[in-house]
């Protein structure tokens, strides 16, 4: 059977030479791709894709694998402008910074903010604040502890923290499943991670 690589698909863990070899394997009969989609905050996991003539689709594996990032996956050198103390609109946060690092929630926040990065540092000699920055859209979210709990300041065209908390809420609504409950479908015009089935809740990935 003849297999054709869907437009926009990327073997994200391979360099360009190895990618061409993998494409040839899929095109001329292998038809199965094992790849590691990942963002700039953490690994998204390991997924096994079955290639057809017009798309590739499959399930993520159980567990939380992590792989060295490939050269073409490197984040931009610049984080963008570090937000000032008055930048953004403040509200109370529903979660602390742990949703960026805990296995299940972090999987969801990476899907919700696929091009963002985060880091923590003390502000004005106080406790650490967590900065989430998307340099592509100049969007920001800064999470800081206060006496009443965690508060977040958001600015820019994308409400990064809103997107992260919404994604985690969906994950909790569906019983906080492992990554094995998620799948990925890649077609000519989209790359989509779904929960439960291709008709379930979906999160698009950058193409």
Which residue is associated with the tokens 């492992």? 178
Inter-residue contact 201 to 174 (CB < 8 Å): yes
pLDDT truncated to tens, each residue of the chain (207 aa)?
Answer: 223 333 333 444 444 554 455 555 555 545 777 777 767 776 668 888 888 777 788 999 887 665 655 555 555 666 667 788 888 999 999 999 999 998 889 999 999 998 889 999 998 888 999 999 987 888 999 999 999 899 999 999 999 999 999 999 999 999 999 999 999 998 878 889 999 999 999 999 876
Residue 11: per-residue pLDDT? 42
Tokens of 85: 């103390």
- Domain ranges in the chain with CATH number 3.30.160: 77-172
- Integer Cα distance of 42 and 102 in angstroms: 10
Residue 98: per-residue pLDDT? 94
Tokens of 30: 């292998």
Q: 170, 175, 205: which is closest to 190 by C-alpha? A: 205
| 42 secondary structure, DSSP code | S
Tokens of 45: 């996991």
Inter-residue contact 68 to 15 (CB < 8 Å): no
Inter-residue contact 160 to 171 (CB < 8 Å): no
Q: Which CATH number fits domain 77-172: 3.30.160, 3.40.50, 3.30.70, 1.10.3470?
A: 3.30.160
Helix (H) or strand (E) holding 167: helix 160-173
Rounded (5°) CA angle 56-205-102: 110
Task: Give the chain's radius of gyration (CA, Å).
Answer: 18
Tokens of 155: 């600015």
List of E strands, the chain: 32-35, 47-51, 56-60, 89-92, 117-122, 128-134, 139-146, 149-155, 182-186, 191-195, 202-205
Q: 79, 71, 73, 80: which is closest to 39 by C-alpha? A: 73
């Amino acid at each position: 059977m003849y297999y054709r690589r869907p437009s926009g698909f990327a073997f994200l863990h391979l360099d360009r030479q190895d990618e061409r070899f993998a494409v040839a394997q899929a095109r001329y009969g292998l038809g199965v791709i094992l790849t590691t989609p990942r963002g700039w905050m953490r690994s998204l996991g390991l997924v096994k894709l079955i290639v057809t003539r017009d798309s590739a689709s499959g399930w993520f594996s159980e567990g939380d694998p992590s792989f060295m990032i490939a050269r073409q996956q490197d984040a931009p050198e610049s984080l963008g402008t570090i937000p000032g103390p008055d930048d953004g609109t403040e509200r109370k946060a529903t979660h602390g910074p742990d949703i960026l690092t805990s296995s299940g929630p972090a999987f969801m926040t990476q899907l919700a903010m696929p091009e963002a990065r985060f880091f923590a540092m003390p502000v004005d000699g106080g406790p650490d604040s967590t900065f989430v920055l998307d340099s592509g859209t100049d969007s920001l979210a800064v999470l800081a502890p206060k006496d009443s709990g965690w508060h977040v300041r958001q600015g820019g065209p994308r409400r990064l923290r809103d997107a992260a908390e919404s994604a985690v809420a969906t994950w909790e609504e569906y019983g906080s499943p492992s990554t094995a409950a998620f799948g990925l479908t890649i077609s000519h015009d989209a790359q989509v991670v779904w929960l439960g089935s291709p008709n379930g809740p979906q999160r698009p990935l950058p193409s």
